[in-house]
Amino acid sequence: MKYFLTSALTKGLVGQILTFIVSYGLIRNFRKTVSGWEVPAPELSGWQAPYDEPAMVLATIISLFGFLLACGVVSDWLKMMAGQKPHLKHGAQGKPEWTRYINIDVNHKVIGIQYGLNSIFILLVGGLLAILFRLELALPGLQFLQDGSQYNTLFSAHGIIMIAAIFAGVGAMTNYLGPVLIGASDMSFPRLNAFSYWVGVPSAVILLAGIFMGGWDTGWVGYPTHSTTTQMIGVQMFLLGFYLNGFSSIASGLNMVVTAVYMRAKGMSYFRMPIFVWAAVAASILQATTTQTVGVALTMVVAQRTLGMNFFTPVISPELLAAGVPAGDPILFQHIFWFYSHPAVYVWILPGLGIISELLPVFTRKPLFGYKWIALSSIGIALVGMLVWAHHMLTSSMPPAWKIPFMLSTLLVAVPTGVKFFSWLATIWEGKMRFPTPMLFVLGAISVFLLGGLSGPILGTIATDMHLHDTYFVVGHFHATIFGGFVFPFFAAIYYWFPKITGKMYDELLGKIHFWIMVPGFWVMSLLQMRVGVLGMRRRIADYGSDLGIQVEHALITVATLAIGWSILIMLYNLITSARKEELAPENPWESRSPEFLAPSPLPEFNYLAPIEVVGEPYDYGLEGATYAVVPTPAGD
Amino acid sequence: MSKNAKHFSIVGVAIAIVTYLVYFILSTFFFELPEAASAEATIIDALFNGHYILIAFLFAIVVVPLVYSIVVFRQQEGDETDAPHIHENTVLEIAWTVLPIFLVIGFGVWGVSSYNQVIASEPDEVTIRVWGFKWDWLFYYPEHDNINDPALVLQEGVPVKLEMQSTDVIHAFWVPKFRVKQDVFPYDVENQDLNFGNADYSPDEVFYEPQVIRFTPVVEGVYRVRCAEICGTNHYAMLANVFVLSPSNYQKWLDGEFLLPPDPNQGNSQIQDGVDTYLLELERFDINTGYTPPPDPFAVPEAEAGEDG
Ligand code: HEM
Ligand SMILES: [Cu+2]
Ligand SMILES: [Cu+2]
C-alpha cells in the first residue's frame, strides 16, 4: 500500500486531478470577473453537466502537464536542460520488484508489460460499455437508457476507448518483443520510450472523464458540423484525449524504427530479422508519419468550438460573406481525418499479422513459406494503405469522379493481403501441426481475419457500399478485421510468451476453454452483425424497430457478446493464478528456434547474458543442423 | 508426387463443393437482400451477387486447405520430428500475386460501370427537394407549387432526382429497399429558422451545392427513409415514411383526395417509446385507399352501437 501511494502512477493521477481542478477554477473565475460572463445552462440531457467549456479545455491541457511533472517521467529531461547529466536508472531501486510496473522505468520489458496491463484494463472498461449497450439493443424499443444521448455516449466512448486499448496492446507487443527479437538490450531511446507509455495514461484518463463530464455523441470519427455544434461538451475531452494519445504513437513509432535499424545483433541482416519485426517496423512507419494529420483535424475542431475559428461551417449569411468571412467545408475534416485513420487500422493489425507469421512455423515445424514476400507485403500494405482513405467517404459530398480512384486503390489492398494468406497456407500445408492454446488462437485469428478480409471488397465497390455504408455490415467487417488482426494474435502472444515473461506455465485446459468460447462466440457475433446490416440495420442507433425483422439476430448477438465477456474473465483468472504458482516452466516449451529462448526466463535486465550472433536463417525448421542464433561463450571461459 | 496429387485432387473437389455451398447459403438466406423496390436495386444486387460468388470462392480456397492440413497433416502420436523443409517457390508466389490483380481489374471495371448506371440521370425525372434537420425530414415538390410534406410521396415507375440539403449537421438519406444512400450536407447553420413554407425558395440562395441522388421506384408500397449518419440525440428516430403510389392515387394525393397517415415525428418531438411509433401510424393505412382517420371519440359510434345490440 505504501509503495502504491508513493508510486509514479498515483502521483501522476493526483497531479492531474489537482491541476485540473485548480486551473479550471482559476480560468472560470477569471472569465467571470473580467467579462461578467456566466456559464449558459445548456439543454440538459442524459449525463450532461453545465461546464464552462473553454475553461474545461484549457484546464484539461494543463492537467496533462500536471500528470507528466508529478509522475516524474520528464524530470531527466528537465535536469538535462539544467545542464546536469542524469544516469539511466535500472532495477527496482530497493523496492519490491512489482513496484517497477507502477513507477517510471526505462527498461523496455517493463514498459511492454505496463502497456499490456494498461491495454487489458482499458479493454475491460470498453468491453463493459459494450455489454451495457448490447443489453439495450437485445430487444427493440428503449429498455433501460433514458434517451438517445446516453446511448450515443456509450457507443462513442466504447469506440475510442477500444482504440486506445489497441494502441496500448500494439505498444506492449512491439516494446516487449522488438528489442528481444533483434538481440538488443533495450530500445534506442529508453527515456522517450517511457514517455510514450506515460503520456498515454493521462490521455486515457481524459477520455474516460469525458463520459462523465458531459458525454459526447459524435462516434469516434467526430465529423463536423455535428462535432462543432453538439451540446454534449464531453466531445472536447474526446478530442483532446485522442489528440494527446497521438504523442505516444509518434514517439514510439520513431523509437521502434530507429531501434530496428541500429540495434540489430551481429549478423542479423534485414532479411534475417524475425518476421514480427518487419510488421512492427511497417506499423511504426505509419504511426510516425500519419498521426500528425489527425492531430490537425482534431485541433481544428477544438479551435472552432473554443475560439470560433470557422473551418467547417458553410456560412452563407450575406452580411458575413460581405464582411470577408470565408465559408468552411465539412468535407475537409473527413479527408484529413481518414488520411490518418485508414493507415491507423493497419497500425492495429500489422503487428498482429506479424505474430501469426511468427508463431505458425513454430507450431507447424516448417519454415515460414516465402519469408521475403511476407516481409515486403507488410510494407506493401502500409504503402497502399496510405492511398485509400476516401473509401470511407463513398457516399459523401465528394464528386463521383473522385470516388472511383479510391474504389480502385481499395480493391488493390486485396493483393498484398492475399500474399499473406497464401503464404500462411503454404506454411501450414504438410506441417506437423501441434495445437496448444497459442496455436489455437493463431488459427482462430486467421479464420476471423479471413471474415474481415472477405467482407472488405464488397464495401469497396461504390454501388454496393451505397447500401452497406454506415450499417451493421461495416460494424461486423471491422470487428472481424480487428479481432482477427489484433485481439486474437495479442492473446496468442500472451499465452505463447507467458512462460518467457513470468517463468511459469499457464493452465492449458483453461486456455482451451477460453478459446472454444471466444472464437465461436465471435463468429456468431460478427456474422450476425453483417446479416442485420444487409437487412437494413443502421450503425450507431439506440433503437431499430421491429419492422426490420431482426429481433432474433439481435438477441443472439447480445448472448454472444456476454459469452465473449465471460471467456475474457477466464483468461484473466488463468493468467493471474498461473503467474503465482511455484512450478517453473520448461526452458523452451515450444521448441522454438527464436533467440529469446536462448536466454533464461524471466529475461534478465539486459535480455541476453552476452551479445548474440546470428549465423543462419530464422525459420529453418526441418533442416538438419541449422542454427539461427548463438550466444558466443565469453572469451576465457 | 503421386501422394501430393491425391491431396491436391481431394482439396480441389472440396473447394468446388464448399464454394457452391457458401454461395448458396449467402445468396438464398444469410445475406439475402431486402426486396428490390427500385430500378437501381437490380443493378446493385447483380454486383452483390458477383461479390457473393467471389466471397464463397475465396473462403473455400483458404478454409479447405486449412482444415485439410489440420485433419490430415497434424502431428501424429509420438512423432517429434520436424516437417519437410519447404520454404519457397517463386512460381507459386508470383502466381498468387499476379492472378488476384486480374480479379481486382474485373471488379474494378464492374464497379465503375455499375456506379455510372446507378447515378445516371433520366430525361423525364422529377425533381424533389429534401431538407434533413435534427431530427426529421421535409420534402418539397417544386413541380407541384412547392407543396411540402413530412413524407416522401413518389409515383410508381417515375424516375426522381432528390436535391438534398441539411440545415444543421450531416445526415444521410437511405431507403434500404431502394439500396441507394447519399449523405446530406449542411448549408446554413447560422440560420436555423428556415421558413419551410416559403414558396419563393430558389436554388440561387444556396451557397453549398445540394447533394443529389437519383432512383426510380418500381414497386407500390410503404418504405422508410432512415438517417444513416450519426446526428445526435434522436438520430435513431430520424425516419420518414415513403409512399410509392400508383399514378392514379398519386394524382388523387395531389388533389388532396388521398390521405396519408400523420407523421409521428412531426414538430421534432422526441420518440420516447422507440421507433416502433412509426408502425402504429400505418395500422390505419392502405396503399390502395389511403389513410382512414380514427373515428371521432365524441361522435356516437353507430356501427358499434349496432354490434352491442
Ligand atoms: C486489413 C484490416 C482492416 C481493418 C483493420 C479495417 C478496419 C476498418 C474500420 C475500423 C472501418 C470502419 C470505419 C468507420 O466507419 O468507423 C472500416 C471500414 C471500411 N473498410 Fe476496412 N479494414 C480492414 C481491411 C479492409 C479491406 C481489406 C478492405 C477492402 C478491400 C476494407 C474496406 C473498407 C471499407 C470500404 C470501409 C468503409 C465502409 C463504409 O463505411 O461504408 N477494409 N474498416
Ligand atoms: Cu479505410
Ligand atoms: Cu440525421
Question: What's the confidence (pLDDT) of residue B190?
Answer: 43
pTM of the model: 0.91
Question: Hey, is the C-beta of B108 within 8 angstroms of any chain A C-beta?
Answer: yes
**Binning pLDDT at 50, 70 and 90, where does residue B173 land?**
very high
Q: Report pLDDT digits (tens) over A264-322.
A: 988 899 999 999 999 999 999 999 998 999 999 999 999 988 887 888 887 656 666 67
For the stretch B47-93, pLDDT in tens is 999 999 999 999 999 999 999 999 998 888 888 888 888 878 888 88
Average pLDDT for chain B = 84
**CA A103, A21, A248, A470 torsion: positive or negative?**
positive
Quote the pLDDT of residue A49.
Answer: 56
Half-sphere exposure of A571 toward its Cβ, with a 13 Å CA cutoff? 24
Which of the ligands is closest to the CA of residue A468? Answer: 1
Over range B187-209, report the average pLDDT. 47
Give the pLDDT of residue A599.
86
Q: How confident is the model at residue B208 (pLDDT cuts 50, 70, 90)?
A: low
Q: Which CATH code of 3.40.50.150, 3.40.50.11540, 2.40.30.10, 2.60.40.420 fits the domain covering B126-193+206-291?
A: 2.60.40.420
A171 lies in a domain? yes
Q: Give the count of beta carbons closer than 10 Å to the beta carbon of residue B100.
A: 20
Q: Residues B110-135: what's their mean pLDDT?
A: 90
Question: Per-residue pLDDT for B145 more than 80?
Answer: no
- Do A446 and A572 sit in the same domain of this protein? yes
pLDDT tier at B194, thresholds 50, 70, 90:
very low
Q: In whole angstroms, what separates CA A41 from the centre of its chain?
A: 36
Kindly state whether residue A319 falls inside one of the protein's structural domains.
no
Preceding peptide of B135 cis, ω within 30°: yes
Do residues A442 and A590 lie in contact, with contact meaning Cβ atoms separated by under 8 Å?
no
In this structure, are A140 and A248 located in the same domain? yes
Residue B197 has pLDDT above 70, yes or no: no
When pLDDT is cut at 50, 70 and 90, the band that residue B220 belongs to is very high
Q: Do A314 and B279 touch (CB under 8 A)?
A: no
Instruction: State what percent of residues in chain A have pLDDT above 90.
Output: 62
Is the shortest distance between the CB of A351 and ligand 1 below 6 Å? no
CB contact under 8 A, B54 and A331: no
DSSP class of B246: -
Minimal Cα distance from B229: which residue of A?
A470
pLDDT tens digits, one per residue of B221-264: 999 999 999 998 889 888 889 999 999 999 999 888 888 888 77
Distance CA B249, CA B224 (A): 19
Task: Name every residue whose Cβ is closer than 8 Å to that of residue A205 and which is 6 or more positions away in sequence.
Answer: A13, A16, A67, A241
Do the chains contact at B48 and A545, CB–CB below 8 Å? no
Residue A315: how many other CB atoms lie within 10 Å:
20
Is the distance from the beta carbon of residue A412 to the nearest atom of ligand 1 less than 6 Å?
no
Determine whether the interchain pair B114/A45 forms a contact, defined as Cβ–Cβ distance below 8 Å. no
Name the DSSP letter for residue B217: B
Q: How far is the CA of A537 from the centre of ligand 3 (A)?
A: 15
**A268 and A413 together in one domain:** yes
Q: What does the pLDDT look like over A8-40, one tens digit per residue?
A: 899 999 999 999 999 999 988 888 887 766 655
Confidence (pLDDT) at A438: 96
At residue A45, the pLDDT reads 46
From chain B residues 152-211, the ones with a CB under 8 A of any chain A CB are 168-170, 172, 174, 176, 179-183, 185-191, 205-209, 211
Contact A457 B54 (CB under 8 A): yes
Structural contact between residues A422 and A368, judged by C-beta atoms closer than 8 angstroms: no
Per-residue pLDDT at A531 exceeds 90: yes
How many A from CA of A392 to the centre of ligand 2? 6
Q: Percent of chain A having pLDDT more than 70?
A: 95
The three-point CA angle A144-A145-A149 to 5° equals: 175
Q: Are residues A540 and A613 in the same domain?
A: yes
Report CA(A174)–ligand 1 centroid distance (Å).
23
Per-chain mean pLDDT for chain A: 89
B104 in A contact zone (CB under 8 Å): yes
**A314 reaches B (C-beta below 8 A):** yes
User: Could you tell me the pLDDT band of residue B308, with boundaries at 50, 70 and 90?
Assistant: very low
The whole-angstrom separation of Cα A600 and Cα A578 is 19
Kindly give the distance from the C-alpha atom of residue A111 to the centroid of ligand 1, in angstroms, as a whole number: 31
| Cβ–Cβ contact B283 with A under 8 A | no
Q: Which of B44, B236, B271 would best serve as a mutation to test chain A binding (most A beta carbons within 10 A)?
A: B236
Dihedral sign, Cα of residue B85, residue B91, residue B97, residue B99: negative
Q: For residues A157 and A20, state if they share a domain.
A: no
> In this structure, is residue A99 part of a structural domain?
no
- Residue A370 belongs to a domain: yes
Q: What is the 3-state secondary structure (H, E, C) of A485-548?
A: HHHHHHHHHHHHHHHHHHCCCCCHHHHHHHHHHHHHHHHHHHHHHHHHHHHCCECCCCCCCHHH
Domain count for chain A, please give it: 2
Q: Say whether both A189 and A218 belong to one domain.
A: yes
Q: Determine, yes or no, domain membership for A321.
A: no
* Structural domain that includes position A428: 105-313+331-630
- Convert the pLDDT of each residue in A199-233 to its tens digit: 999 999 999 999 888 888 999 999 988 998 888 88
Cβ-proximal residues to A509 (8 Å cutoff; 6+ apart), any chain = none
Contact A400, B115 (CB under 8 A): yes
Residues A361 and A431: their CA atoms lie apart, in Å, by: 8
Non-local CB neighbours of B29 within 8 Å, separated by 6+ positions: none
- β-sheet bridge partners, residue B148: B140
Cβ-nearest to B83 among A148, A152, A365 = A365
For residues A127 and A211, membership in a common domain is answered with yes
Shared-domain flag, residues A13 and A119: no
Query: Which comes out higher in pLDDT, residue A282 or B192?
Result: A282
Same domain, A428 and A507: yes
Q: Which residue has the least CA distance to atom 28 on ligand 1?
A: A456
pLDDT given at position B189? 41
Set of cell numbers at residue B119: 447515378
Distance from CA of A435 to the nearest CA of B (A): 9
The shortest CB-CB distance from B189 to any of A225, A373, A432 is to A225
Query: The domain that contains A159 carries what CATH number?
Result: 1.20.210.10
pLDDT tens-digit readout, A54-71: 888 999 999 999 999 999
- Same domain for A371 and A281, yes or no, is yes
Q: In chain B, which residue's Cα lies nearest the Cα of A222?
A: B230
Q: A110 and A80: one domain?
A: no
Q: Report the separation in Å between the CA atom of B44 and the middle of ligand 2, taken as the mean of its atom positions.
A: 22
Is A40 among the domain residues? no
